[in-house]
Amino acid sequence: MENNKIAVGLDIGTTKIVAMIGRKNEYGKLEVLGIGKAKSLGVKRGVVSNITQTIQSIQQAVEESESVSGQKIENVVVGIAGQHIRSLHHSDYITRSNADEVIDENDIENLVNQVHKLVMLPGEEIIHVLPQEFKVDSQADIKEPIGMYGGRLEANFHVVVGQVSSIRNIGRCVKSAGLDLSDITLEPLASASAVLSQEEKEAGVALIDIGGGTTDLAIFKDGIIRHTAVIPFGGNVITEDIKEGCSIIEKQAELLKIKLVYLVGGLSYHHLTRQLKNEVNTMTEYSNGCTTYQNGSTQTSACMIVPDHTSASRLARRYVHLNLE
């Protein structure tokens, strides 16, 4: 097996870091060779907050994936998210020197590179420039202009922007872990490539990925990326609320969330409160605080679970509505 046929993805998340090694088989499908996971201790809401801990977690995940696959990892493509990510729409054009020649990939590249030169806010840089629709001279709504004649090539772009410091911190962690950073990709786009079909993108679809620290959103319509967003809200917020409301440790709060939150849609508030109270009572031998505050905290935590379980979805729904109007 030649190393240049192997691709490695590294997902640096809030709760875990995952390294996956894969390659295309003879049928053109992805064949997963190895997966390595490690608990993420140095990342908060998708942003690196502790360099040393993040490096250790990356090394642990990479070593596990190498052990499973029997492959040596040298280069990785890293997914990026975090509350610093934002997106914007931009239109730009180029005037071709020879309109008698057909438009080729070099013309598209020149137009994309021109957008990359946009001046962003201080401390920001462009991560992705994604073409949406093209316009050649007076003809609009063109998805693929290559091979057409025209003197003026114009396009609408979806531009993804992130903070320079956050991007550099990720690069430093990867390099310090003994790896080379091949590329950075926005995680909602990577998720969309993995799970959405072209038919779904044509019909119109919103991909919502609720993670530990952030909720990722990608909206497609007519086969074109319309909007991306990273909402700084995830499952860890629910865990933290249960922890504070029940006065229990984080590990116990996480177990309660996993066991109870899936019941929210099928339980009334009264039954949810009673179920939560029963679960908290089983933990009193481990946490004195639960016994002292169990009457009030059970009610409080039940209140917290219900809105938190739906808040990420409501925020994502609002993003969808605002960007499809």
Confidence of residue 258 (pLDDT cuts 50, 70, 90): confident
Residue pair 246/268 in contact (Cβ under 8 Å)? The answer is: no
Q: Is residue 274 classed exposed, middle or buried when 0-12, 13-18 and 19+ CB atoms within 10 A define those classes?
A: middle
Amino acid identity of 295? N
More confident: 134 or 82: 134
Residue pair 64/38 in contact (Cβ under 8 Å)? The answer is: yes
Q: What is the largest CA-CA distance in the chain?
A: 82
Give the model confidence (pLDDT) of 22-50 as tens digits.
998 888 888 999 999 999 989 988 899 99
pTM above 0.85, yes or no: no
Characterize 53-70 residue by residue with b for buried, 16 or more Cβ atoms within 10 angstroms of its Cβ, and e for exposed.
bbbbbbbbbbebbbeebe
Please give the pLDDT value at position 45: 84
> How confident is the prediction for the chain on average, in pLDDT?
82
Superfamily of domain 3-82+165-197: ATPase, nucleotide binding domain (3.30.420.40)
Domain boundaries, the chain: 3-82+165-197, 235-314
Residue 111: which residues within 8 A CB-CB, separation 6 or more?
A: 92, 93, 94, 131, 153, 155
Give the model confidence (pLDDT) of 61-81 as tens digits.
999 999 999 999 999 999 998
